[in-house]
Amino acid sequence: MRFWIVILSEAKDIGSENCALSASMGIGDDFVRASSRTKVAAGQKTYTTVEARNAFSEVINSAAYGKDRIALTRRGKAIAYVVPPDDVEALEAIEDRIDAEKARKVIERLERGEEKTYPLEEVARELGVKLPARKKRKTA
């Protein structure tokens, strides 16, 4: 069985409790009032982290087998989502396409002479960054 627990980047206030979230899952279909920064869709399954802890396997199974997107909340705000692997894989595919398009545009600008490359050592020296010693490659 595969599942993902996605922690929102906005959930800065949870600090070292990131690890505790995996043990903090529960049951409940009640809706929450979320702030404008972290809205939960109407009708979406939501669980407080305390509820989620009490029914961890049910939450995971709901995402893994039921394909539900589940909001985990604290103080009425969504702080994380448990989502099916297909959702994460789709997001990663979209990010890969975006990254590939950006790289293609940079390569085109390099080929037209609109961009310039710089050796890593030069950039590090200019920024005052010490690079780790490079291992010598064995030649065949």
pLDDT of 8-55, one tens digit each? 333 333 333 333 333 223 233 332 333 333 567 766 899 999 999 999
Residues 22 and 38 in one domain: yes
User: Residue 77 is part of which domain span?
Assistant: 4-83
**Cα(9)–Cα(15) distance, integer angstroms:** 11
Could you tell me the maximum CA-CA distance found in the chain, to the nearest angstrom?
Answer: 65
Q: What is the pLDDT of residue 35?
A: 31
Q: What is the pLDDT of residue 140?
A: 66
Task: Beginning with the edge strand found earlier in the chain, give each strand of the sheet holding 77-83 in spatial order.
Answer: 4-7, 77-83, 70-74, 45-48
Of how many residues is the chain composed? Answer: 140
Whether the pLDDT of residue 80 is over 80: the answer is yes
Q: Does 132 map to a domain?
A: no
- Residue tagged 């305390």 (tokens): 50
Residues 108 and 52 in one domain: no
Q: What is the pLDDT of residue 39?
A: 61
Query: What predicted TM-score, i.e. pTM, was given to this entire model?
Result: 0.53
Number of domains in the chain: 2
